[in-house]
Amino acid sequence: MHYLIPASDPSYSFQATPFGECCIAFSNDGICSLTFPEDRESGMMDLKRRFSETTFKQNDDKAARLVRQIFEDGKNPTLNPIGTDFQLSIWNALQQIPAGETTTYVKIAEAIGRPKAVRAVGTAIGANPIGFLIPCHRVIRSDGSLGGFRWGLECKKAILEWEKK
């Protein structure tokens, strides 16, 4: 899907985090994307694919402040996730999982009242545009294995370990 950010001052930057470099995109309405791409080129391609109707400008200063708030101060800045109603319901359910804990795809499907939609729930989790802050990394398989993660299992393991501290 392609989205237009209906907000003013859409900006982006690449910033260092405890889990590698992130690509963060935001507007005056909040953060719309936080990813951990393999490289800057793939990070920009993801932004352009997801928000093809939006022109972002680079804003390293504001991005650095946001990243400090998130990873050093432990604050949750305003989010502006853009997706379908179903995706938004999943992403809201993810935000209810306490830091340092995990849940399963099945439990998320049950939490939104759609217990048979486990596969669709998994797809919506995989489409999460705001990694870490919408904690898709806290969802594991019913058998206890980590399952997948858009930015790699090493990144998922690192985030989960970091949150336990």
pLDDT for residue 5: 55
Work out the angle at residue 101's Cα, subtended by the Cα atoms of residues 131 and 135, and round it to the nearest 5 degrees.
Answer: 10
139-140/57-58 β-pairing: unpaired
pLDDT for residue 6: 53
pLDDT in tens, 85-115: 999 999 999 999 999 999 999 999 999 999 9
Catalytic residues: 136
pLDDT for residue 2: 44
Region 147-163 average pLDDT = 92
- Long-range contacts of residues 155-160, Cβ cutoff 8 Å, at least 24 apart: 155/19, 155/20, 155/36, 158/18, 158/19, 159/19, 159/132, 160/102
Map residue 38 onto helix, strand or coil.
Answer: coil
Mean pLDDT of the chain: 92
pLDDT in tens, 39-91: 999 999 999 999 988 999 999 999 999 999 999 998 989 999 999 999 999 99
Q: How confident is the model at residue 127 (pLDDT cuts 50, 70, 90)?
A: very high
pLDDT for 37 beyond 90: yes
Euclidean distance between CA atoms 22 and 35, whole angstroms: 5
Name residue 161's amino acid.
E
Q: Which helix (H) or strand (E) holds 163?
A: helix 153-164
pLDDT for 153 beyond 80: yes
Backbone angles phi, psi at 64, to 5 degrees: -60, -40
Q: Where do the domains of the chain lie?
A: 11-71, 85-164
pLDDT for residue 1: 47
CATH code for the structural domain at 85-164: 1.10.10.10
Region 131-158 average pLDDT = 93
20-27/30-35 β-pairing: antiparallel
Name residue 24's amino acid.
I
Q: Is 149 exposed, middle or buried (0-12, 13-18, 19+ CB in 10 A)?
A: buried
